[in-house]
Amino acid sequence: MQLKSKIVLFVMLFCYISAEEDMLPSFIKKCDFKDKELGSCIRKQIENSLSRFTKGIPELGVPSIDPVQLDDINIDGNGLKLKFADAAMHGLSDSKLTDLKVDIGSNEEDFNLGFKGNMSLTAKYSIDGKILILPIKGEGDALVKANNVEVNIQSKLVHVKDSKGRSHLKLISPNYKYDIQSTTFDLKNLFNGNKQLAETTLAFANDNWRQLMDDLAPPAIKQIVRTVIKAINKFFSKIPIAQMLDGYKDS
C-alpha cells in the first residue's frame, strides 16, 4: 500500500512538472495577439524581463547568460600575440533595450533586437609583441572594461511545430553589428611586475585601445550573440506561441 502511494505521488508530480513546463514564468505577462498595440506589449514585456531572463530560468532549462563564458581568444598579427583564456563577459543583465522589432503572424518574420550597456571581460592573459611601436610582454589576470557597448541583432523568426503539433518561435540565420564607445585594459604582472614599465605601457594601450579591440571585439561579440540566440531559442522551444499570446490559434 505504501509503495502504491509513492507511485501515485510520483505520477502526480510528473504530470505537474510536465504541465508547468509550458507555463510562462511569473515575471512575463501574456499579450493579446489581436491587440493593435501588440508590438508595444511585447516590447514592454521584454524590457521588464530582460534582467531576469539573462540570469536564467532554471525551470525551463534556460541557462544564465551573465556572465557569458567565452572560448579562448587568440590574436596573432601585426607583431602582437595575445591570448585570453578562461574568459567571461559580464554585464548583460544590466543592459538596456535600444531596439526591438518582432511581428508574429506568418511563418517567417523579421526579428531585430538591440541592447546597450557597459561590459567587462575577465580572463587569464598572455601577451608578447608590440602595440604600434611600444613593446609589451606579460601574463596574469586581465580585466577589460568596455563602455557603452551597443549590439544589434537581426534574425529571421520562423514557426516550428513540436511533437504535439503546437507552434513555437525560432530564430534562424542571425546577423549582427556592434559599436564600442571606449575601452580600458588592466593587465596584471606586465613585464614580471615592473611597475614603471607596466604603467607606461598600459597608458599607451588605453590611449590606443581601438587597435586591440579591432582584434579582440569580433570573436567576443560573436560568442555573446551566439549565446543570446541560444538562450532565446531555448525559451521559445519550451513555451508554445499560444501560451505567450492570448487569442493565437495554431494553423
| Element (DSSP H or E) covering residue 74 | strand 73-77
Decide: helix, strand or coil at residue 199. Answer: helix
Whether residue 3 lies inside any domain: the answer is no
Distance of alpha carbon 54 from alpha carbon 62, whole angstroms? 9
Mean pLDDT of the chain: 88
What was the pLDDT predicted at 250? 81
84/103: higher pLDDT: 84
Whether residue 97 lies inside any domain: the answer is yes
Range of the domain at 177: 24-246
What beta strand segments (E) does 103-187 contain?
108-131, 134-161, 167-187
* Total structural domains within the chain: 1
Whether residue 15 lies inside any domain: the answer is no
Give the cell for residue 215.
Answer: 582584434
Question: In which residue are the cell numbers 511533437 written?
Answer: 163
What was the pLDDT predicted at 194? 93
Task: Encode burial over 100-110: b for 16+ CB neighbours within 10 A, e otherwise.
Answer: bebebeeeebe
What was the pLDDT predicted at 224? 95
Whether residue 227 lies inside any domain: the answer is yes
* Burial group, residue 139, by CB count within 10 angstroms (0-12, 13-18, 19+): middle
Identify the band that residue 21 occupies on the pLDDT scale cut at 50, 70 and 90.
Answer: low
Mean pLDDT (whole number) for 129-136 = 91
Distance of alpha carbon 131 from alpha carbon 80, whole angstroms? 7
For the chain, how far is it from start to end, CA to CA, in angstroms?
47
Whether residue 53 lies inside any domain: the answer is yes
What was the pLDDT predicted at 114? 96
Whether residue 194 lies inside any domain: the answer is yes
Instruction: List the CATH number of the domain containing 94.
Output: 3.15.10.30
Whether residue 143 lies inside any domain: the answer is yes
Whether residue 13 lies inside any domain: the answer is no
What was the pLDDT predicted at 172? 95
CB contact at 8 A, 218 and 179: no
